[in-house]
Amino acid sequence: MRLTLRSFALLDILSLLFMSVQIWQIVTHFDESSYQLSEQIRVILMFPMFILVITGAIGLFFVKKFGFILYYIQFPFRLYLWVFTLGFITLLPEAFGLFEGIWFDVLLKVCFVAEFIRLYLTIRVHRALFLAS
């Protein structure tokens, strides 16, 4: 169980590495952002999401309750902002030079499903570690 949590934490750290490029783009082009309300909400939520993912990954790595709580808080925002545990797999076609449009859609759906599987596994581990005693 602890290995599962640590692997989730490490995948979150990997996700943060890829998310840092996105955060940097937002910081450098903040004035040029779209005036649509949904886009403004996404831009504003990315900064606290970055902090939540870092803190949650640390909590999960050391198997602390706050790591679980932060993940539960993050979950809906992860879906809205497309900050997935396995989100880096959407970049694989670009890395291999496959620029057809079909791969991104397929891999994005895989990321959605994987995030729900992670939620399920996190709840199971949480119940086994803290609620069973």
DSSP for 33-87?
----HHHHHHHHHHHHHHHHHHHHHHHHHTT-HHHHHHHHHHHHHHHHHT--TTG
| pLDDT tens track for 64-95 | 999 999 999 999 999 998 889 998 888 788 77
Q: CA-to-CA distance for 78 and 119, rounded, in angstroms?
A: 11
pLDDT over 90 (residue 3)? yes
User: What is the predicted pLDDT for the residue at 17?
Assistant: 87
Most confident of 9-13, 21-25, 90-94: 9-13
User: What is the predicted pLDDT for the residue at 39?
Assistant: 81
pLDDT over 90 (residue 32)? no
Name the residue type at position 46: M
* Contact of 86 with 11, CB cutoff 8 Å: yes
Greater pLDDT, 64 or 38: 64
Q: CA-to-CA distance for 130 and 108, rounded, in angstroms?
A: 32
pTM score, two decimals? 0.85
Q: Residue 122: how many CA atoms within 13 Å on its side-chain side?
A: 29
User: What is the predicted pLDDT for the residue at 15?
Assistant: 86
Q: Mean pLDDT, to the nearest integer, of 34-51? A: 84
Mean pLDDT value across the chain = 87
